[in-house]
Structures are given as structure tokens and as C-alpha cells.
Amino acid sequence: MDQTRCPIYVGAMNADTSSGLPFMKMHGLGNDFVVIDGRGESRVDADLARAMGDRHRGVGFDQLAFIEGADDALRLTFYNADGSTSAACGNATRCIAAWEMDRRGSGTLDLLTERGALRAERRDGVVAVNMGAPILDWREIPLAHEICTLHLPIAGDPVATGMGNPHCTFFVDDAEAEDLSVYGAHETHDLFPQRTNVQIASVVGPDHLRVRVWERGVGPTLASGSSSCAVTVAAARRGITGRAVRVDLDGGTLMIDWREDGVWMSGPTSYVFDGVWYG
């Protein structure tokens, strides 16, 4: 990750930076984040997330990631742009892991999330994160009532998967030809009491999928790590692909590998700039 520091000040020009809130802007394949390091006195709530997430009046992001805890037990909390929280955000986890491993000069790192402890590793210039075992039980995804998660009673026959957040995957002939917003409307389907991320996926070749994502609390997004993991799990369960899959998203490519110890996701990370928020 290129960590050349480029400061940006959001708010009053020439203000005293000690009175503002420092943050970093990062992205993974265009799936963008504001990262706030709370190992000092910083705090984040839904109101702050909504204000900073406004792409016209704030900074703009798909997710805000808040870092807290001690160096040997860093914990991440994720907010969507609408102020809601999410237990998982794979691309943000990879970006933060890359930055923190560079800072420490290490090749591995464990980060605590609501999903549990996630292991990150640097491999051949990219960062891989173990996103944990997929959630396949209807109660834990969660769904509103008992149902087979491999075939939901929704037009299009989607698959439900949990990756710490709920996912609904539709397999289609050509993901690029479909209207994503039509599928994205299922974010608020009654079967998903906590709403859901939605993906449309088509087969490019053996173990190669083209995926487009509608993210819960955000809308269309260029990429999503947890969605890529969920699509891979759904495809493998359906027998469409194996368990190691190339996922091509609107913003680029992630490699997903569903192993015995969890679903590993690898791909590039990007640091964009440092900023100070004066909201």
C-alpha cells in the first residue's frame, strides 16, 4: 500500500487541526472507506457516520471503519453511509490490515470484529483476510423464519448466506445486462429482518464469476469483500463453481478461497489521503 501522506482538510480553512477529527480515506477496488483511529480519544456514532458519509456535504464513503483497543488487540467497528452498523466489511478489513502491517513492519495481523478474530496476511503484494466460516443456518443469517437457505422462495431463486452480515445472491445469465436496482430492491424484503446485501452473479468460466453488488445501507457499490465471499459460497453450494473462485466486480478482481478454516479473500488495497473533519 502506498502510504505517501497527502493531507486534506474538510471544514474551515486554516483551522487548528488539533480541534478536528483526523481520518484516513482508503479503498479496495473502489469500495471506499473513511477510517478513524480511535486509539486516542476519538469516538464515532451514527450521526457522525451519516454526516461524513454524505458524498455532497461530507467526505463520502461506502463504510466508515473505527479502530479501537490496544495494539495487541485492535478492534474494528463498521458503519454504513446511512449510519447503520455492519458486523463485517472485508475490503475495509484488508485496507486497515495493510496499513497496520506496514506501520509495524509485519506480514501478519489479527483484527477483532463482531465476526471474531480475523487473520490477515500479506501474500505476493496483496493482502488476504480470513473472513471466517460462512453462516448457513437461517436463524443466524438471520432470516425471518425457517427456510432452506439454498433456495429462497423469491422470484429468481436466490441463495442466502451470512458472512457476519446477510447476503442474497441471484444467479443470472449476464450480470452486466441486468438492472441492478431491480434486484437491490430486495434489500428490504420481509425475509431479511436486518435487511440484506444483494448480488447478481453470472458464470464467466470454470471458477470465474462476474458479480455486481447492491450494498445494504449504501446501494450500488463498485466492490464488496463480504459479498464476494458470500457469492463464492453460494456458487459452490449450488455446484456452479468450486471453492476457489475469481470474482470480477465493477471495480476490479478479488480472489476468494473457501477453505476448512474459513473464507479467504485477497486483492489490492489503496490508501488515498489523510484528512481532518470539522463537522
Tell me what pLDDT residue 19 has: 76
Total number of domains constituting the chain: 2
- Average pLDDT on 120-130 reads 92
pLDDT digits (tens, 9 = 90+) for 164-219: 999 999 999 999 999 999 999 999 999 999 999 999 999 999 899 999 999 999 99
Residues 123 and 164 in one domain: no
Task: Select from 135, 116, 72, 64 the least CA-distant residue to 95.
Answer: 64
Residue 16 is predicted with a pLDDT of 52
Q: Residues 206, 124: one domain?
A: no
DSSP, collapsed to helix, strand or coil, labels residue 46 as: helix
Residue 14 labelled as part of a binding site: no
Query: Helix or strand or coil: residue 68?
Result: strand
Instruction: Determine contact, residues 248/208, Cβ cutoff 8 Å.
Output: yes
Catalytic residue among 6, 89, 148, 229: 89
41-97 residue pLDDT tens: 778 999 999 999 999 999 999 999 999 988 888 999 999 999 999 888 889 999 999
Residue 146 lies in a domain: no
Return the C-alpha cell found at 127. 493482502
- Residues 11 and 118 occupy one common structural domain: yes
Whole-number Cα distances in Å, 256 to 24, 138, 244, 275: 26, 23, 6, 32
Question: Is 89 considered catalytic here?
Answer: yes
Between CA 154 and CA 147 the distance in angstroms is 12
Residues 111 and 31 in one domain: yes
What average pLDDT score do residues 228-238 get? 98
Instruction: Please indicate, yes or no, if residue 71 is contained in any of the structural domains.
Output: yes
Q: Is residue 18 part of a domain?
A: yes
Residues 241 and 210 in one domain: yes
C-alpha–C-alpha distance, residues 174 and 191, integer Å: 26
Show the cell assigned to 208: 470465474
3 pLDDT higher than 50: no
39 in a structural domain: yes
Q: How far apart are CA 222 and CA 252, in angstroms?
A: 8
Q: How far apart are the first and last CA of the chain?
A: 28
Annotated binding-site residue? 279: no
13 and 125 in one domain? yes
Same domain membership, residue 236 and residue 210: yes
- pTM score, whole prediction: 0.89
Q: Is 272 in the same domain as 223?
A: no
Mean confidence (pLDDT) of the chain: 91
Between strands 63-68 and 31-37, the pairing is parallel
d(CA 232, CA 255): 10
- Listed residue (279, 221, 277, 278) closest to 24, CA to CA: 277
The answer to the question of whether 187 is labelled as a binding residue is: no
Q: Is residue 149 part of a domain?
A: no
Q: Is residue 57 part of a domain?
A: yes
The answer to whether 225 is annotated as binding is: yes
Tell me the three state secondary structure of residue 153.
Answer: coil
Q: Is 229 found in the same domain as 118?
A: no
Q: Which domain holds residue 249?
A: 159-260
203: CATH = 3.10.310.10
